[in-house]
Amino acid sequence: MTPPAGPAELRERVERFLAEHDPATTERLAFLRARYDAGLAWVHFPEGHGGLGLPQAWQLAVDEQFAAAGAPDNNPHSNVIGLGMAAPTILAFGTEEQKRRFLRPLWTGEEIWCQLFSEPGAGSDLAALATRAVRDGDGWVVNGQKVWTSSAHLARFAILVARTDPDVPKHRGLTYFLCDMTDPGVDVRPLRQITGEAEFNEVFLTDVRIPDAHRLGAVGQGWAVATATLNTERVAIGGRAAPREGGMVGLVAQTWREHPERRTPELHDRLLRLWVDAEVARLTGLRLRQKLAQGRPGPEGAAMKLTFARLNQQLSGLELELLGEQGLRYSDWTMVRPERVEFTGRDAGYRYLRSKGNSIEGGTSEILRNIVAERVLGLPPEPRVDKDVPWKDQAK
Partner 1 sequence: MSELDLLYTDVEDDLRSSVRGLLADRCDPGAVIALYDGDRSLVAPLWKAIATDLGLAGLLVPEARGGAGATAREAAVVLEELGRAMAPVPFLTSAVVAATALADTASADTAGGLLAQGAAGERTAALAVPLSTTPYGALPAVRAADGRLTGTVTSVAGALEADVLLVPAGTADGLALYAVTATDTTRDPVVSLDMARQLADVHLDGVAGTPVVAGAEPAIRRALLTGAALLASEQLGVARWCLEETIGYLMQRKQFGRVVGGFQALKHRLADLATAVDGANAAARHAAAALAADDPDVELAVAVAQAYCSDLAVTAAEEAVQLHGGIGMTWEHPAHLYLKRAKADQIAFGTPGAHRARLAELVDLPAAG
Furthest CA-CA distance within the chain: 72
* 377 forms part of the interface with partner 1 (CB under 8 A): yes
Annotated catalytic residue, options 233, 245, 321, 361: 233
Number of residues that bind partner 1 (CB under 8 A): 46
H helical segments located in the chain: 7-20, 28-37, 59-68, 80-81, 87-93, 96-108, 222-235, 248-258, 265-293, 300-323, 348-354, 365-371
* 307 forms part of the interface with partner 1 (CB under 8 A): yes
**Near partner 1 by CB under 8 A, which window of 126-134, 183-191, 330-338, 369-377?**
369-377
Which of 6, 184, 243, 378 forms a contact with partner 1 (CB under 8 A)?
A: 378
Calpha distance 303→274 (Å, rounded): 17
**Near partner 1 by CB under 8 A, which window of 42-50, 335-343, 352-360, 366-374?**
366-374
- Least CB distance to partner 1 at residue 66 (A): 23
Amino acid making up residue 233? E
- Quick check: 205 and 189 in contact, CB under 8 A? no
Which of 6, 243, 265, 295 forms a contact with partner 1 (CB under 8 A)?
A: 265
**Active-site residue 233, yes or no?**
yes
Beta-strand pair 132-136/200-211: unpaired
Enumerate residues 274-293 that contact partner 1 by CB under 8 A.
275-277, 279-281, 283-284, 286-287, 290-291
In the complex with partner 1, which residue's Cβ is closer, 277 or 339? 277
List, as one string, the DSSP characters of 222-290: HHHHHHHHHHHHHHTT-SSPPPTT-THHHHHHHHHHH-GGG--HHHHHHHHHHHHHHHHHHHHHHHHHH
Interface residues toward partner 1, by CB under 8 A:
241, 245, 253, 256-257, 260, 263-265, 267-269, 271-273, 275-277, 279-281, 283-284, 286-287, 290-291, 294, 300, 303, 306-307, 366, 368-370, 372-374, 376-382
Residues identified as active-site: 233
